[in-house]
């Protein structure tokens, strides 16, 4: 029951992030918005509302909820229900750096620009911050 609540909470957060981020739906929308954020928003204004930053805030919240659910499942000895690959985020990463990484990854993988924005963000993290392979 607890896992179901966390999974539902993560979906709700993801939906809220999409609504809060305005018109960001596809990977192309995300890359375009993040390109604008990293090139046109001055460092001193980086904390002001922007569609890219708002999207990334919601995505980070969802990522945290997913990781909490994965750890909870591990402690309880049950399989994780997450379909996403494990990522190992650095201790600190700014929204600006994350936006730059998304732009670079999208530019390098134009075939992925038609997928949903949250999938492109996830694939960027999987590429840039993969978990180490399981030791067997």
User: Considering the chain, what is the average pLDDT of its residues?
Assistant: 83
- Report yes or no on 62 lying in a domain: yes
**Longest CA pairwise span in the chain (Å):** 48
Does a structural domain hold residue 31?
yes
Residue 104 inside a domain? The answer is: yes
Phi, psi of 47 (to 5 degrees): -90, -5
Q: Is the pLDDT of residue 20 over 70?
A: no
pLDDT single digits (tens) 65-89 = 888 888 888 788 887 777 778 888 8
Pick from 86, 13, 91: nearest CA to 56: 13
Q: Domain total for the chain?
A: 1
Q: Cite the DSSP H helix spans in the chain.
A: 2-20, 27-40, 51-76, 95-108, 117-128
- Does 82 reside within a domain? yes
| Portion of the chain with pLDDT greater than 90, in percent | 50
Nearest to 36 by CA among 44, 26, 46: 46
**pLDDT tens column, 104-115:** 999 999 999 999
Contact 34, 95 (CB under 8 A): no
8-12, 19-23, 57-61, 97-101: which has the minimum mean pLDDT?
Answer: 8-12
133 is a domain residue: no
Domain assignment present for 134: no
- Tokens standing for 117? 């924005």
By residue range, what is the domain housing residue 98? 2-128
Residue 90 lies in a domain: yes
Say if 56 falls within a structural domain: yes
């Amino acid at each position: 029951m607890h896992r179901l609540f966390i999974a539902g909470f993560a979906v709700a957060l993801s939906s809220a992030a999409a609504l809060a981020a305005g018109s960001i739906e596809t990977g192309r929308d995300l890359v375009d918005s993040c390109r604008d954020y990293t090139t046109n928003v001055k460092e001193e204004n980086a904390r002001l509302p922007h569609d890219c930053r708002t999207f990334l805030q919601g995505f980070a919240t969802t990522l945290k909820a997913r990781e909490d659910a994965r750890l909870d499942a591990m402690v309880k000895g049950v399989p994780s229900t997450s379909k996403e690959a494990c990522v190992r985020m650095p201790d600190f990463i700014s929204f600006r750096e994350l936006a730059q990484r998304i732009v670079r990854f999208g530019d390098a993988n134009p075939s992925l620009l038609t997928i949903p924005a949250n999938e492109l963000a996830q694939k960027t993290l999987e590429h840039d911050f993969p978990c180490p392979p399981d030791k067997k």
